[in-house]
A and B are shown apart, each in its own frame.
Chain A
């Protein structure tokens, strides 16, 4: 298990060194996106007002507090990624996103885009929002504010992780691997349970 401490933005070369099972922490910029953010971007054709090139995007609907013009995090956690699978190839191919962060993983189309362009899926520890919130130093900007809590968020993070590389740019897919291994063990488990 290799452990990496990275800094955003990520280059293609760097991302291609990451392998399924590696642990990643990073510092720098993190964009927050969710279902509605991407419906607005891709189905309703709105160009993001900020460049996402080389950046990581996390699947979140944060609780934030606004005082004057300044936003502060109350609780930022991560949601299930599968619902947002159909937007991911375009996010990578059109906008140059290099890492998608979420829980539960994505499917074949996203994996192909990661392979083609050099991007990864990083699995966060779901349910650990208190830890995640503590790693956010600042909410630097909220774009498309009318979509809040599913707007486009720009966070500055420090030691953000641990993140497990669950899909890499070489076609590796950790969730599929784990499931395949479970299925391989299944006949023996059924037998011990007396249910074959």
Chain B
């Protein structure tokens, strides 16, 4: 087994943070263009036009779409056919996120929760958020990077329903969360929903839901149907882009589920704002890197 140069993981972690902030994924661009085309309210159309313009300017000037560079999240998947050093990877992700912040440079938002001291590194104790998972029968590892802004993250909700509440309560909770959030999460974003599992897993599922590219449905037809129903319901509210009124209030509702306990039915909502930023890389043991979204 060859030895990996973990320096490339640090470089990739840095590069992914910058790419995510400056270059919106093609599915998000497509969804925004569709929203602009579908929108009938003239004011809302103006708002969509400004959003699309901001995306173009960021392309031309190689600059950030949004000033909130957020908290860094790295979702890592390790291939099972190679011995990847997970502890080393975790350290390198943190250094990469710090270097992105200081070398680009952009505003760091990580802060001590009591002293509120901001080291201007985007990292700190237990930050970046790192999820580790595995992929069978491949050698490469994959990193999905998400910078999570506070406008949308601050609107997160979670509730432990009981079986007697039924799926009705879950649907109502998701819709009510959306309405209560109003303009704050910079709509129309991706409404990420976690369903089932435990209190911690349900929020992680909601986070994985916002990471799913737009235009893909959950593979479970029952859940996919719920996604469609909720999308229609949310758009019917007329909250519109930036909460100023309009036909398009969400780019998509994504639900991820896990089996849960017979006595419980947890649900979590985690919203992603309209600049739904993410960047992906596949790293091979021989040092090859493929970038994507």
Task: Please give the residue numbers on chain A whose beta carbons come within 8 Å of chain B beta carbons, in ascending order.
Answer: 1, 21, 23, 60-63, 74-77, 79-80, 82, 103-105, 123, 125-134, 149, 162, 164, 166, 174-175, 177-179, 181-183, 185-186, 188-190, 192-195
- A164, B47: Cβ atoms closer than 8 Å: yes
**Chain A contacts of B182 at CB under 8 A?**
104, 175, 179
Given A21-B43, A103-B186: A125 and B242 within 8 A (CB)?
yes
User: Cβ of B243 < 8 Å from any Cβ of A?
Assistant: yes
Label chain B's interface by main secondary structure.
helix
The interface-forming segment of B4-12, B54-62, B126-134, B280-288 is B54-62
Q: Smallest Cβ distance from B85 to chain A, in angstroms?
A: 35
Partner of A74, one of B47, B106, B151, B237: B106
**Chain A contacts of B241 at CB under 8 A?**
125
Partner of A127, one of B54, B169, B239, B244: B54
CB nearest neighbor in B for A183: B179
- B168, A195: Cβ atoms closer than 8 Å: yes
CA distance A174 to B238 in the complex (A): 12
CA distance A122 to B61 in the complex (A): 27
Q: Smallest Cβ distance from B190 to chain A, in angstroms?
A: 13
Q: Smallest Cβ distance from A177 to chain B, in angstroms?
A: 7
CB nearest neighbor in B for A63: B107
- B54, A125: Cβ atoms closer than 8 Å: yes
Label chain A's interface by main secondary structure.
mixed
Given A75-B106, A164-B43, A174-B245: A128 and B54 within 8 A (CB)?
yes
CA distance A74 to B61 in the complex (A): 11
Partner of B66, one of A62, A127, A175, A183: A127
- B50, A131: Cβ atoms closer than 8 Å: yes
CA distance A128 to B172 in the complex (A): 31
CA distance A63 to B58 in the complex (A): 15
- A129, B65: Cβ atoms closer than 8 Å: yes
Task: Please give the residue numbers on chain B whose beta carbons come within 8 Å of chain A beta carbons, in ascending order.
Answer: 42-43, 46-47, 49-51, 53-55, 57-58, 61, 63-68, 105-107, 149, 151, 168-169, 171-172, 175, 179, 182-184, 186, 229-230, 232-233, 236-245, 273-275
Given A74-B106, A103-B183, A181-B245: A128 and B237 within 8 A (CB)?
no
- B233, A192: Cβ atoms closer than 8 Å: yes
Q: Smallest Cβ distance from A118 to chain B, in angstroms?
A: 22
CB nearest neighbor in A for B49: A162
- A128, B175: Cβ atoms closer than 8 Å: no
Q: A128-B53, A130-B63 are in contact. List 6 more A-B contacts (CB 8 A).
A: A1-B43, A77-B68, A123-B183, A125-B54, A162-B50, A183-B179
Q: Smallest Cβ distance from A188 to chain B, in angstroms?
A: 8
With most chain B CB atoms within 10 A of its CB, the pick from A61, A77, A174, A193 is A193
- A63, B106: Cβ atoms closer than 8 Å: yes
Partner of B54, one of A79, A131, A174, A179: A131
**Chain A contacts of B172 at CB under 8 A?**
190, 193, 195
**Chain A contacts of B46 at CB under 8 A?**
23, 162, 164
- B67, A23: Cβ atoms closer than 8 Å: no
**Chain A contacts of B238 at CB under 8 A?**
178, 181-182, 185
- A127, B61: Cβ atoms closer than 8 Å: no
Can you report 7 A-B residue pairs in the complex whose CB atoms are below 8 A from each other?
A: A61-B67, A125-B47, A127-B273, A134-B57, A181-B238, A193-B230, A195-B171
